[in-house]
Structure 1
């Protein structure tokens, strides 16, 4: 893709180099790279009266970010000394241009690959799992992601709970993904890139797929979505040890499992079974999060509605069976504000960071993002031998 520039009686003091330098500071809101680097600048014309006309290639005709791009271009060029007026014209890339863009973003690779499974990937991948539903796994996932992003990390969330997807609502993400050929640009909310099957269905239509289709959907979300250079990717898994959990182990074997449970002994026993999948998949269990640990009463006492000790019991049991430390990373107290924040689409760690639940969730996020790298987080392709 080439950029053309021409001048009709150029205004004194305005150069094409200055305009291009300004445009190089404009990032595409979905790809997060300069529009000059992406070949999106079609033409620049400078008139004698200080008017600068900039023509921009959009990736697709129905680009949802066309107004954002227009405003960013206008604001950037207006800052160039001598510019009195900025006119922005939008055009649409050809099929050939989109193909070149897709290849450049994928490093020249024609076929989509899963970047997180590639050797040398520095992205930490956490599969947030639970033994049963209703333990708040999605709430934990969303708040961990928001907390990490607020600390300046590049974070993505893949809603792998195909049947019970809820991540878009909890993030307040109502946008639809943009497709560039067969590459998908994920919407963002609160600084987090998000993809979910709920973004591709109409209304609240249920998804009725069997195992192979679940595997294919997960594979597409991992390979076809342009995630960019992520520091952390969180996968919100469906409860149990079914198709999706097995597919995750096959597609991203270096992913680590984060287990969510409640203090209730019945829930803890099921969570322990879910965590034991690590013995079969040879994945690392990074730790346990106990949700709904207690309700803080006005007089300062704690009401343990779902009992006590479940999270620590799971941690101790799995540490013994796996032969490696599986720490209890945090206990999240019950708070109606956590539910309200999820319904409103603003994670609690952002809407009410001073609450006890938000502080506990931020503490877990901090522990997950400050761990040192080492062999503990790498797959050695060694199977345990029992005697």
Structure 2
């Protein structure tokens, strides 16, 4: 699908208030084009929220008319004042356009890149893989490292919500710019599709999204790139193994025997593709009550057994806990543990182990 055709089709949707195309005003942004699939973000203010279905229908019809078979529209609600500022040009830079293939970026995953890649994998969902990703990345930032995060969990992306990220911006040269939160530079599928709509993509489309994240994002200078993989051994994990052969891996499991057993397959794939496994992280290892007694709610030794099967080491055992609810603090997060907490200290130690292994 040609970018010019998509732009022309989108330009036909006119904002009644300004009389200008939504695309030109910046009310349509974050446009991603992949063969016959288009994803975009549409900004509507509260008084227009009742017309969301109508806008979705109009956009879908216009894109269907030029041969786009798969349309993903993410709607973000803004205030009337924000809309007026966007339309006037006072709120944001010029409207984001579709990245141009003529403006090439140096591939961040090229063999001569100095960036150290680390994938966080698991055998099944629900073991806290994304929590480990963001907390390890945050701990690396605290250790003075420049860190990027790719949320490659295409079907179950959760990092944007965990970190309170809603938008992805673009530069004046129309390359995608990762969002910065808590010192991390983040890109996610969740920036380009609706949170509540399913992502129905097959292998080729998944590969194109990953290629976009690696080659069409204007990443800053980085020391580490942490990749949150989908659970299991599917297309995305295979693509990471093929595209980034220098990528190391951490396998996340819970102490439960089933989770540990399933995680063996993720580790086995890394071994078969000659990816280096740094070790195993056992999440939700236990709950410690007020008296200091540990309760092993999901069993014991699953992480240790997994590490033995993969002939690697158990890097950390992380207890069940939640970050302090300090919502008045400017750096409050519902997902990131502060360094002075028990889990924060564990992640700091994990970060030091990663640094030691990857920078040795």
> Structures share a fold, TM > 0.5?
yes
Partner of 1:357: 343
TM-score (structure 2 length as normaliser) = 0.68
1:115 aligns with 2:108: yes
1:196 aligns with 2:188: yes
Deviates more, 1:298-307 or 1:168-177: 168-177
Contact residue 349 and residue 362 of structure 1 kept, 8 A: no
Partner of 1:280: 272
Partner of 1:328: 314
Change in Cα spacing, 1:63 to 1:193, as seen in structure 2 (3 Å) is farther
Partner of 1:137: 129
Structure 2 unaligned spans of 5+: 1-87
**Deviations along 1:321-357, whole A, 9 cap, x unmatched?**
xxxxx2111000011338999xx7454333xx33222
TM-score (structure 1 length as normaliser) = 0.64
Q: CA deviation at 1:317?
A: 1.1
Q: CA deviation at 1:179?
A: 4.7
Rg (Cα) greater in structure: 1
Write the mapping of 1:1-387 to structure 2, written as runs, cut at 5 A: 111-119=104-112, 121-319=113-311, 326-337=312-323, 345-350=333-338, 353-371=339-357, 373=359
Counterparts of 1:211 and 1:165, CA distance in 2: 17
**Deviations along 1:272-292, whole A, 9 cap, x unmatched?**
111001232111111110000
The secondary structure found in structure 2 opposite 1:227 is coil
The secondary structure found in structure 2 opposite 1:278 is helix
Q: CA deviation at 1:152?
A: 2.1
Change in Cα spacing, 1:340 to 1:116, as seen in structure 2 (3 Å) is farther
Change in Cα spacing, 1:209 to 1:288, as seen in structure 2 (3 Å) is same
The secondary structure found in structure 1 opposite 2:185 is strand
Change in Cα spacing, 1:279 to 1:175, as seen in structure 2 (3 Å) is same
The secondary structure found in structure 2 opposite 1:234 is strand
Change in Cα spacing, 1:219 to 1:338, as seen in structure 2 (3 Å) is farther
Contact residue 278 and residue 357 of structure 2 kept, 8 A: no
Contact residue 178 and residue 184 of structure 1 kept, 8 A: yes
Contact residue 323 and residue 337 of structure 2 kept, 8 A: no
Partner of 1:323: none
Q: CA deviation at 1:135?
A: 0.3
The secondary structure found in structure 2 opposite 1:168 is helix
